[in-house]
């Protein structure tokens, strides 16, 4: 990326971040659902769920809650992108001497920053509830890397959704399946407790691979080949969604 593109992206990212800071209720709303689920599953359902592990249920299900937090957050990326498209600001930007893709990257980086803040809030609540881990700094860095990759993957899906949506409701509705997906994975219960077809789906979808990887890293357990499966899923979906988003943007604003 050229110096010109970097400076354009920095300026436009500052614009997007200011919009987020002026409406902090978006971050509050983003974390409310995951925190409510965290409290519900730990204090209401947790005592009745058997995971086959010695670790506390809070530690078992926290990775799934983190992914739900991200899925909730990217809905606002699609929402903000749709508003920019409808307001005509994209046409104004494309008529100016700025790097064209800097407009999209500004939204992507804003999504990354907002979601990292939301994740920090949820982890903070989990710590107050008693979550503890002996994971090393390297393990935490690996967890952070997987989460950042997950954010970027879902954000580029949100970019395509925001550019393709016809209504404001449609711009954010794409996130509903993403929020639901962790419930049909190993996030809350072992996949072996599910009926055959459901278990097969749960064991062979990307969220399970990501959840298992994060869980193993935080529990100081071997990740085995699971981390490569998770990375393959995320990188494959990221590349596809990036190409779809860029293609849609270029066809929409020639």
Contact (Cβ atoms closer than 8 angstroms) between residue 246 and residue 101: yes
| CA 121/CA 155 separation, integer angstroms | 19
Spatial separation of the C-alpha atoms in residues 148 and 238, rounded to whole Å? 12
Among residues 101, 27, 6, the alpha carbon closest in space to that of 70 is found at 27
Local confidence band at 97 (pLDDT 50, 70, 90 cut-offs)? low
pLDDT value of position 18: 78
Is residue 1 scored above 60 in pLDDT? no
Distance from C-alpha of 120 to C-alpha of 149, rounded to nearest angstrom:
16
* Strands, E assignment, the chain: none
Q: What's residue 11's pLDDT? A: 75
Integer CA distances (angstroms), 52 to 55, 56, 155, 214, 236, in order: 9, 11, 34, 18, 32
**Contact assessment for residue 111 and residue 194, using Cβ atoms and an 8 Å cutoff:** no
- Quick one: pLDDT at residue 251? 84
pLDDT band per the 50, 70, 90 thresholds, residue 101: confident
**Mean pLDDT, the chain, as a whole number?**
86
Q: Which of 142, 145, 108, 140 is nearest to 123 (CA)?
A: 140
CA distance 175 to 172: 6
- Over residues 159-174, mean pLDDT: 82
Res. 60: pLDDT tops 80: yes
pLDDT in tens, 14-53: 777 777 777 666 667 778 889 999 999 888 877 777 777 7
- pTM for this predicted structure: 0.91
pLDDT given for residue 4 in this prediction: 57
Both structure tokens of 240: 């596809």
Report residue 14 as tokens.
């500052």
Give the model confidence (pLDDT) of 169-200 as tens digits.
777 787 888 888 999 999 999 988 889 899 99
For residue range 65-89, list pLDDT tens digits in order. Answer: 999 999 988 888 888 888 877 777 7
**What percent of the chain stands above pLDDT 90?**
43
Is the alpha carbon torsion for 47, 48, 49, 51 positive or negative? positive
Kindly tell me the sign of the dihedral angle through the C-alpha atoms of 186, 191, 194, 196. Answer: positive
Q: What is the DSSP string of 42-78?
A: IIIIGGG---SSSS-HHHHHHHHHHHHHHHHHHHHHH
Spatial separation of the C-alpha atoms in residues 111 and 98, rounded to whole Å:
21
């Amino acid at each position: 990326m050229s110096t010109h593109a970097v400076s354009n992206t920095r300026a436009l990212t500052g614009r997007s971040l200011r919009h987020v800071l002026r409406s902090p209720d978006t971050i509050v709303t983003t974390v409310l659902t995951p925190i409510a689920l965290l409290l519900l599953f730990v204090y209401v359902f947790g005592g009745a769920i058997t995971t086959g592990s010695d670790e506390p249920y809070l530690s078992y299900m926290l990775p799934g809650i983190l992914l739900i937090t991200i899925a909730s957050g990217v809905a606002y990326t699609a929402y903000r992108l749709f508003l920019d498209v409808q307001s005509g600001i994209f046409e104004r930007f494309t008529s100016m001497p700025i790097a064209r893709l800097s407009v999209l990257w500004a939204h992507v980086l804003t999504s990354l920053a907002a979601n990292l803040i939301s994740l920090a809030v949820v982890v903070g609540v989990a710590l107050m509830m008693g979550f503890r881990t002996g994971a090393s700094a390297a393990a935490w860095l690996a967890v952070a890397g997987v989460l950042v990759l997950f954010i970027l993957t879902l954000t580029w899906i949100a970019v395509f959704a925001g550019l393709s949506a016809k209504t404001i409701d449609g711009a954010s509705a794409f996130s509903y399946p993403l929020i639901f997906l962790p419930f049909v994975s190993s996030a809350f219960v072992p996949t072996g407790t599910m009926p055959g077809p459901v278990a097969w789906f749960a064991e062979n979808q990307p969220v399970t691979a990501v959840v298992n990887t994060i869980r193993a890293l935080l529990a100081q357990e071997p990740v085995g080949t699971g981390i490569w499966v998770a990375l393959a899923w995320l990188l494959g979906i990221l590349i596809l969604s990036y190409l779809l988003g860029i293609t849609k943007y270029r066809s929409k604003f020639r």
